[in-house]
Amino acid sequence: MSKKEVVLVTGASKGIGEAIAIKLAKENYDVIIFGRDVQRLIKLKEKLVSLNSNTIYFNGDVSNEEFVNESINKIFEKYNKIDAVINNAGIAHFIPFAESNLEQFKEQIDVNLYGVYNFSRAVINHMIKRKHGTIINISSLSGKVGFQLGTMYSATKHAVMGFSRSLMQEVRKFDVRVVAICPGSVVTDMILNSPIHPKNSEKVLYPEDVAEVVFTTLKLPQRALISEIEIRP
């Protein structure tokens, strides 16, 4: 069993997930990374190993239950535990609803919601048995309020909030924590390449800001839970 805390980060190829992985490696965690861009995962693994993290990576689709379960089993075989899961993987199509199609909606549901379900379901019994563990879901302020061009995306993030709040109530009695972190606009490719990119650069957050909040949440004693956090510019 790893002597360090073992933390799994999805959507780690870039942006918020990459920043979280680097921050946690610097803070002496063993970080397991998931993503779709294998070249970026390899590069990130090298970075994390240089920070003394015993890192492995998995390249695949978070909405694929079989892939997730097989990956989690491999992690248990190697580390014998998972202390925390950071469900960060997410996608968005910021377009007028009248121009949208069902496939775009399904794609966002697959990653933003089914991905959260798959990883949470794969580790929850392990955490309950150990009476130890943290699931952090990177939601969004759009999981609390709607906004133009975000009808589909906001719907998935509202679902993540309902999921997080309900699961938290189920498992807190087992000393398992479920946290929803809700950032505003963050400077990532998803935002920079979208029509909702704020024109005022002072009105945005950076991935490192979210990473700091994740670390702050994890380092709290297991008896302490901040169930929801809003991060605003």
What CATH number corresponds to the domain at position 44? 3.40.50.720
Rounded CA-CA distance 36/26 in Å is 23
When pLDDT is averaged across residues 154-175 and rounded to a whole number, the result is 98
Give the model's pLDDT for residue 193. 60
Does 194 score more than 60 pLDDT? no
Give the model's pLDDT for residue 84. 99
* Domain assignment of residue 1, yes or no: no
Q: Any idea which of 109-118, 135-144, 191-200, 206-215 has the lowest mean pLDDT?
A: 191-200
Confidence tier at 189 by pLDDT (50, 70, 90): low
Domain holding 67, by residue range, is 6-231
* Domain assignment of residue 10, yes or no: yes
Rounded CA-CA distance 180/185 in Å is 16
Terminal Cα-to-Cα distance of the chain (whole angstroms): 40
Number of neighbours of residue 142 by Cβ within 10 angstroms: 23
Does 217 score more than 90 pLDDT? yes
Q: What's the total number of domains in the chain? A: 1
Give the model's pLDDT for residue 202. 66
* Domain assignment of residue 192, yes or no: yes
* Domain assignment of residue 18, yes or no: yes
Does 203 score more than 80 pLDDT? no
Q: Are 78 and 72 in contact (CB under 8 A)?
A: no
pTM of the entire predicted model: 0.94
Paired with 180 in beta bridges are 137, 228
Beta strands in 112-216 (DSSP E): 133-138, 176-183
Rounded CA-CA distance 186/153 in Å is 15
Provide the CA 2 distance to its chain's centre, in angstroms: 22
When pLDDT is averaged across residues 29-40 and rounded to a whole number, the result is 98
* Domain assignment of residue 119, yes or no: yes
| Coil/strand/helix, residue 97 | helix
State the burial class of residue 3 (Cβ atoms within 10 Å of its Cβ: 0-12, 13-18, 19+).
exposed
- Of the chain, the percentage scoring pLDDT greater than 90 comes to 88
pLDDT tens column, 96-148: 999 999 999 999 999 999 999 999 999 999 999 999 999 999 999 999 999 89
When pLDDT is averaged across residues 19-27 and rounded to a whole number, the result is 99
* Domain assignment of residue 151, yes or no: yes
Dihedral-angle region of residue 96 (phi above 0 means left; psi in -120 to 50 means alpha; beta otherwise): beta
Catalytic positions are 153
